[in-house]
């Protein structure tokens, strides 16, 4: 490993790895400068990326979340547009944007959910492998919206645990992307998926 000569020696001597060890040679010869090996260890932090396994896994999960789209009404049109070149959701590793639970780990529910669709929606969710997350997109998916009546489910969190609610009627694609970014932040921060926190849906 080459020694980085650009690092100020004064700054180098105050670095954590230098403090951690490799000082024994200088105990016998205090005026002696750091040896080549000692300097290499001191610059180790610049040469390597240090992380934990949990952070590496979370990083991989957030950069390869594959959505299973569950579009039911007007909000679905806004959701579909995030794959277009204007919004380009592939930037987040979401090239695979399909309507199948196979290999998907993010369920995006967009639009009002009729009671008739509740069972299929839950079936799709159950077929997804863990860890998995749910975004309720729009007022209807989050709370039934303006459809306060017997045919419409008053919030998809009554049948699946929701991680992120995206407000709006309809939310713009930017709002959905904001929700996705917020979900990524939760995963990176180590927040467990909603099904682990709540166990079951609220309904
Ligand atoms: S929130 Fe508004 S745009 Fe979305 S499904 Fe309901 S009525 Fe349609």
pLDDT by residue, tens only, the chain of 203 residues: 455 555 555 455 555 555 555 555 555 666 766 677 777 776 776 777 778 899 999 999 999 999 998 989 999 999 999 999 999 999 988 888 888 898 899 999 999 999 999 999 999 999 998 899 999 999 999 999 899 989 999 999 999 999 999 999 999 999 999 999 999 999 999 999 998 887 665 54
CA 52 to each of CA 6, 59, 62, 196: distance values in angstroms, whole numbers, following the listed order: 28, 11, 16, 22
Cis status of the peptide bond prior to 13, with omega within 30 of 0: no
> What distance in angstroms lies between residue 11's CA and the mean position of ligand 1's atoms?
57
For ligand 1, which residues put their CB under 6 angstroms from it? 73-75, 111-112, 138-140, 145, 169-170
pTM equals 0.77
> What distance in angstroms lies between residue 33's CA and the mean position of ligand 1's atoms?
70
Atom of ligand 1 nearest to the CA of 112: 5
Q: Give CA–CA dist 152/140, Å, rounded.
A: 9
Q: Is 164 exposed, middle or buried (0-12, 13-18, 19+ CB in 10 A)?
A: buried
Q: Which residues contact 151 (CB under 8 A, 6 or more apart)?
A: 114, 115, 116
For residues 96 and 122, the answer to whether their CB atoms sit within 8 Å is: no
Closest residue (by CA) to atom 2 of ligand 1?
A: 169
């Amino acid at each position: 490993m080459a020694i980085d000569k650009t690092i100020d020696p004064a700054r180098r001597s105050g670095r954590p790895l230098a403090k951690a060890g490799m000082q024994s040679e200088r105990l016998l010869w205090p005026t002696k400068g750091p040896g080549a090996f000692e300097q290499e260890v001191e610059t180790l932090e610049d040469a390597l990326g240090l992380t934990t396994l949990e952070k590496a896994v979370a990083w991989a999960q957030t950069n390869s979340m594959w959505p299973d789209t569950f579009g039911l009404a007007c909000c679905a049109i806004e959701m579909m547009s995030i794959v277009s070149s204007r919004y380009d959701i592939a930037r987040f590793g979401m090239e695979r944007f399909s309507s199948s639970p196979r290999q998907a780990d993010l369920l995006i529910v967009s639009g009002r959910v009729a009671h008739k669709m509740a069972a299929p929606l839950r079936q799709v969710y159950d077929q997804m492998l863990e860890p998995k997350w749910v975004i309720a997109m729009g007022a209807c998916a989050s709370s039934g919206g303006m459809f306060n009546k017997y045919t419409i489910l008053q919030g998809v969190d009554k049948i699946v645990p929701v991680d992120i609610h995206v407000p709006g009627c309809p939310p713009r694609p930017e709002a959905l992307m904001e929700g996705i970014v917020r979900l990524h932040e939760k995963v990176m921060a180590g927040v467990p998926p909603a099904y682990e926190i709540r166990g079951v849906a609220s309904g």
